[in-house]
Chain A
Amino acid sequence: MWKILLMFLMRLYDGVLKVLVALGAACLVFITVAIIADVALRNLGYRAIQSTSALIEYGLLFSTMAIAPYLVRTNGHVAIQSFVEKMPKAGQYVASRLSLMLSVLVLGLVSWRAAVIAVEVTRSGAVDMRSINFPGSVLYVMLSVGLGLMAIEFLLILVRGERFHGSQGEG
């Protein structure tokens, strides 16, 4: 019974990650189209859409947080491995466990605090004033969810006894 429930939850969780990736990609499409429409309107002498810049700015954080957990799963975040690879096997194991525990702890802490701030901001009714006003909690919710899912992904790697190899970055 528990096993079935666990499998169901894991499938649901995988589905959530996939949906987030798809939404992140859709967000890039939206950003491209919105900018083109905005500039075209402006240069044709019409009034630009007021909400565009604020939506695009929020879209940047959304797409970043949407792909972040998937990047953990696919070893996509930048990590320096050149020193770890020079260590003896036992040293590599210890460094790997240490860095995974640090990742779970730090990301979990930040996710929790972001959620707490989101609740406080919602209670106070604060707004984020940009080209249009957004509820003040939206950015904190994005951060809390994205980093929370990252912490879960690192925890899964830790529990499975695997290593996070990371990527080498991009120029």
Chain B
Amino acid sequence: MEWYLSALYLVGGLLFCMFIGTPVVVAFFAVNVFGAAIFMGGMAGIDQAITNSTTAVTSFALVPVPLFMLMGALLFHTGLAARVFDALDKCFGSIKGRLSYLTVAGGTLFATLSGSSIANTALLGTTLLPDMIKRGYKKHMIMGPILATGGLAMIIPPSSLAVLLGSLARIDVGALLIAGLIPGLILAVGFIIVIAVQIKLDPDAAPGYDTQRASAREIFHAVVVDVLPMGLVVFAVIGMILLGWATPSESAAFGTLAVIILAVFQGVLTFSAINKSLMEALKVSGMMLIIIVGSTTFSQLLAFSGASAGLIGYAKTLDLSPMALVGLMFLIVLILGMFMDQLSIMMLTIPIFMPLIALHGFDPVWFGVVMLLGLELSLATPPFGLLLFVMLSVSPPGTTIIEVARAAVPFILCTLLLVVLLVIFPQLALWLPELIRN
């Protein structure tokens, strides 16, 4: 069979199954089972695909996926995350647009404590949105920062998606986690600048109002009791890797332990919080890992059928510069993100992208960070980006999807600017992992 027909069957079949509403895991299983029968020798091929599935998630490298989820869920359900927000709120006083700034500051801090962008967005939405509506913030000043900052958890370590990307694309997971730190912080600073510019251009967008000012003693107490102890969680996750005490996979368990210790000391650890957190972590990680179980043979089928080699050969004939090729890949991720979830995008594109990245000699860690930024952006890309709909569901009555999408535009541009910076200065992502390696 010609390579383009194989590619059409595999990629087209997968997209068809997904577009008729078949669960993503079943869509992958369907294409893999029938593909294995066609390309790998009938029933023997199907049995081989099943054997591959059994080993797909029995890998120690995937341990952080459920544990980062558990860590984030515990922070949320014990109320520790809300306490951090309250403490930061006291620090901001009555500066103009304080709730928008608080969204970025709190969201960035929570991103360093949680591995899930949905948990991050949910926290920001439930904690700050009602107050912003009540205070008369304009819609774009409410939705834009929440949409943008929610996605930061995807790139700032610990990030479940980075672990999955690293494991699936055979990128050093520890290096990829650490590589996201500086770009993530730059992005947070960029978001703050965007808010400041928006307030400068339209001072009524974020009304000024007097808040009950906390005394210096209250601020000190809130920071010492509620914010500084969170350093234990950051140390447990990132510090233990840097000190060489634990591998990136193992550090996730210590992050969970650190949250439990803090919750015990704050007297907020309840059976209900543990139960809810375990269920949430089990559901979300199960949902992600089973897609890996179902899709594991897909890359092998692409290779076995000649589709991978054909696509790479075709890419060579396009006569694109390596950077233009990366730009094209980034665009594909954005387009797929308009209607597909992040993990499906990764499973579909990694087998095609990674050989091309290796062919052109790009650093896989650098490309991993760029891809994570693309995945983050895709969450807020109209018309079907997931976070747009999450925001719409909690926005003031009468809000349209166009308004939500428009609110996201300045922040999307900010992320695109960071991608350009990463292309010009790859060391923004690579400096920290190289420093640790040396």
Contacts of A113 in B (CB 8 A): 43, 46-47, 50
Judged by a CB distance under 8 angstroms, whether A149 is at the interface is: no
| Residue pair B58, A60 in contact (C-beta under 8 Å) | yes
Q: Mark A130-171, 1 if CB is under 8 A from B, else 0.
A: 000000000110110000000000000000000010111111
Q: Which of B33, B54, B118 contacts A61 (CB 8 A)?
A: B54
| Residue pair B33, A35 in contact (C-beta under 8 Å) | no
Q: How far is the CA of A24 from the CA of B279 in the complex (A)?
A: 9
| Residue pair B287, A167 in contact (C-beta under 8 Å) | yes
Contacts of B70 in A (CB 8 A): 28, 32
Judged by a CB distance under 8 angstroms, whether B375 is at the interface is: yes
Judged by a CB distance under 8 angstroms, whether B185 is at the interface is: no
| Residue pair A36, B254 in contact (C-beta under 8 Å) | yes
Judged by a CB distance under 8 angstroms, whether A17 is at the interface is: no
Which one of B16-24, B124-132, B169-177 is at the interface?
B16-24
Q: How far is the CA of A24 from the CA of B119 in the complex (A)?
A: 21
Q: Mark B272-289, 1 if CB is under 8 A from A, else 0.
A: 000000110111111111
| Residue pair B246, A53 in contact (C-beta under 8 Å) | no
Q: How far is the CA of A24 from the CA of B376 in the complex (A)?
A: 29
Q: How far is the CA of A78 from the CA of B253 in the complex (A)?
A: 26
Judged by a CB distance under 8 angstroms, whether A57 is at the interface is: yes
Q: How far is the CA of A32 from the CA of B252 in the complex (A)?
A: 8
The smallest C-beta distance from B397 to any residue of chain A, in angstroms, reads 22
| Residue pair A110, B33 in contact (C-beta under 8 Å) | yes
| Residue pair B54, A140 in contact (C-beta under 8 Å) | yes
| Residue pair A68, B161 in contact (C-beta under 8 Å) | no
| Residue pair B57, A39 in contact (C-beta under 8 Å) | no
| Residue pair B287, A21 in contact (C-beta under 8 Å) | no
| Residue pair A169, B386 in contact (C-beta under 8 Å) | yes
Contacts of A78 in B (CB 8 A): 23-25, 287, 291, 341, 343-344
Q: Which of B44-64 contact A (CB under 8 A)?
A: 46-47, 50-51, 53-55, 57-60, 62-63
Contacts of A103 in B (CB 8 A): 22-23, 26
- CB-based nearest B residue for A79: B23
Q: Which of A25, A68, A98, A168 contacts B290 (CB 8 A)?
A: A68
The smallest C-beta distance from A57 to any residue of chain B, in angstroms, reads 4
Contacts of A21 in B (CB 8 A): 279, 282
Q: Mark B240-276, 1 if CB is under 8 A from A, else 0.
A: 0000011001101110110000000000000000000
| Residue pair B286, A170 in contact (C-beta under 8 Å) | no
Count residues of chain A with CB under 8 A from any CB of chain B. Answer: 62
The smallest C-beta distance from A117 to any residue of chain B, in angstroms, reads 6
| Residue pair A168, B26 in contact (C-beta under 8 Å) | no
Judged by a CB distance under 8 angstroms, whether B67 is at the interface is: yes
The smallest C-beta distance from B40 to any residue of chain A, in angstroms, reads 13
Q: How far is the CA of A139 from the CA of B70 in the complex (A)?
A: 24
| Residue pair A143, B50 in contact (C-beta under 8 Å) | yes
The smallest C-beta distance from B159 to any residue of chain A, in angstroms, reads 9
- Residues of B bordering A, CB below 8 Å: 17-26, 29-30, 33, 43, 46-47, 50-51, 53-55, 57-60, 62-63, 66-67, 70, 116-118, 151, 153-154, 160-161, 245-246, 249-250, 252-254, 256-257, 278-279, 281-291, 293, 339-344, 375-376, 379, 384, 386, 389
A-B contact pairs, 29 of them (CB 8 A): A28-B66, A28-B70, A29-B278, A35-B67, A35-B249, A39-B245, A39-B254, A63-B286, A71-B283, A71-B286, A71-B287, A77-B24, A77-B290, A78-B25, A79-B23, A83-B339, A96-B21, A99-B23, A107-B29, A109-B46, A110-B29, A113-B47, A113-B50, A117-B50, A139-B55, A143-B50, A143-B53, A169-B24, A170-B284
- Residues of A bordering B, CB below 8 Å: 21, 24-25, 28-29, 31-32, 35-36, 38-39, 43, 53, 56-58, 60-61, 63-68, 70-72, 74, 76-84, 95-96, 98-99, 102-103, 106-107, 109-110, 113-114, 116-117, 139-140, 142-143, 164, 166-171
Going nearest first, the 4 A-B pairs with the smallest beta carbon separation are A169-B341, A67-B286, A35-B253, A139-B54
Q: Identify 10 new A-B residue pairs, CB closer than 8 A, beyond the known A31-B66, A61-B57, A83-B339.
A: A28-B285, A35-B249, A39-B253, A58-B58, A95-B20, A95-B21, A107-B26, A114-B54, A169-B341, A169-B343
